Amino acid sequence: MKILVTGGAGFIGSHLVDALINNEHDVVVVDNLSTGTKENLNAKAKFIKLDITADQLAEVFAVEKPKVVFHLAAQIDVRKSVANPVWDAEQNIIGSINLLENCRKYEVQKVIFSSTGGAIYGETEKIPTTESEPTEPISPYGIGKLATEKYLNYYWQVFGLPFTILRYGNVYGPRQNSKGEAGVVAIFCDKLQAGVSPTINGDGKQTRDYVYVGDVVKANLAALENDQVAIFNIGTGVETDVNKLSALIKDAFGAEVEFNHGQAKTGEQQRSCLSFAKAKSELGWEPLVAIDSGIKNTVNWFRSLSL
């Protein structure tokens, strides 16, 4: 099957591209390399350097005629979205509309969208959070993801363009870019690799649902095989606070460097954890990599960079 992956040179996207090619799909990657790298690219994928906001995206669809689109390209830094919400909206909302217009015009059979479960619900009383909980994002990034979800529903209801939305927890693993993709696991690993003391924002008791990139890829493959138009949380159902996370990373590195505590970030969400019950029952997916194993895999990858 001909498949287009936006953001396919990035952290999650490149792992997905590898899996799709291993399953003998014909893959085209569109990526502007703002955070992704050519080193991540599978040699068997066709690569087109392009921003999804560009008019030239129509030429890609006209030539390649993909049957399925995995949409991962995004500005994913919550803090940058707060600092510059107009730019965030241009990338994440306008870019997505441009993509969906081309999906409609060129009769794509399905769109699988990488959304956020961490930022889209906001502070919620129900932990683990289910897909039926209200969406009250407290950042422009989360608002942009929710807006794209609404546009997907519009294109389905009006034009019959099927979709699956995957709301991720905090994805971590090999290839995550500590500078461009803002993942706390990657940031801590980068600091420890350099022998620098990482800084924990606030008291470190804020929690997240850390899900391993390999499990996220399997969720995308399951969505490809599923005919439902639906939304699924992709998380572990386990809360991990930053203090525990830092200890796991420090132990995996065998580091003697101590973590510092800095100022808490204004407006930072305090708790986030996703129920995967719906994904298990309807997609046949569940997370398989425990956080201690996933952290060890990630640390080993970071160590390999210096060899």
Q: Which residues are catalytic?
A: 141
Alpha-carbon span 186 to 197, nearest angstrom: 14
Alpha-carbon distance 16 to 12, whole Å?
Answer: 6
Query: 3-state class of 188 per DSSP?
Result: helix
CA angle 246, 184, 250 (to 5 degrees): 25
Q: How far is it, in rounded angstroms, from Cα 165 to Cα 1? A: 20
Nearest Cα neighbor of 9 from 34, 36, 27 is 36
Task: Give the three-state DSSP class for 150.
Answer: helix
Rg (CA), the chain: 19
Residue 256 makes CB contacts below 8 A (sequence gap 6+) with none
Q: Are 166 and 234 in contact (CB under 8 A)?
A: yes
> How far, in Å, CA of 81 to CA of 64, rounded?
32
Is the Cβ–Cβ distance between 268 and 124 less than 8 Å?
no
Judge contact between 99 and 161, C-beta under 8 A. no
